[in-house]
Amino acid sequence: MALDKNGIAQRIAQELEDGYYVNLGIGIPTLVANYIPKGISVEFQSENGILGMGPFPYEDEVDADLINAGKQTITAMPGAAFFDSAMSFAMIRGQHVQLTVLGAMEVSESGDIANWKIPGKMVKGMGGAMDLVASADNIIVAMMHTNRAGQSKLLKACSLPLTGVACVKKVVTDLALLEITERGFELKELAPGVTVEQVKNATEGTLIVDGDIPEMQLS
């Protein structure tokens, strides 16, 4: 059975390593914070100006001056720090943040990503996404394998305006975990119960299947 959004987040959380500073985008990536593996410590950065972001507040802790980049009310963990937006993007461009997880509308087999604009339809803006993808070394995309119309979001080339070029390293979808290499989308793991055939049918870009593909281990 394909993964739901929480399942995708759970698998991505396994990529966290002790000591990582992590920036989580809006949507599925935000859920990754719920599945930090036991025994490791990570800190979450939100580009509007906090390091050490904590969970949502209890009703009586809500503070209009304490939000994340999705404009949701949040809390600050012990050891947190606040800073201005230039300092925040210095952390990002300066590669002090080890892992960036973000959503996408399309990803290409060469690692291009599109997630900020549908010409004539949706123009919300890129926010911090272009700075994040241009700078981070380790970028994981969390998204569904196909869009609502059933079309593949893993393409030979993106059709929408790009957010960044050749930057995505890994994609975790409801169907699979794939790494982007010079050869294309390399299938590394299948979601529980999903077949290679299903992934093939849902992937427009070049799919590389080497040997037996293991099933994801989600505890």
The residues carrying an active-site annotation are 47
The dihedral through the CA atoms of 1, 205, 147, 112 has a sign that is positive
Question: x/- site string to another protein, residues 92 to 131, per CB under 8 A?
Answer: xx------------------x----------xxxxxxxxx
Nearest to 47, CA basis, from 94, 86, 78: 86
Q: Using CB under 8 A, which residues numbered 126 to 165 contact another protein?
A: 126-131, 134-135, 161-165
Among 4-12, 17-25, 84-92, 203-211, which window interacts with another protein (CB under 8 A)? 84-92
Per CB under 8 A, 47 contacts another protein = yes
- Size of site (CB under 8 A) for another protein: 50
Contacts 24+ apart (CB under 8 A), 179-188: 180/107, 180/109, 180/110, 180/111, 181/208, 183/208, 184/109, 184/208, 185/109, 185/154, 186/210, 187/213, 188/213, 188/214
Per CB under 8 A, 83 contacts another protein = yes
Q: How far is the CB of 165 from another protein (least distance, A)?
A: 3
Per CB under 8 A, 73 contacts another protein = yes
Binds another protein by CB under 8 A, chosen from 57, 77, 179, 198: 57
Q: Are 10 and 28 in contact (CB under 8 A)?
A: no
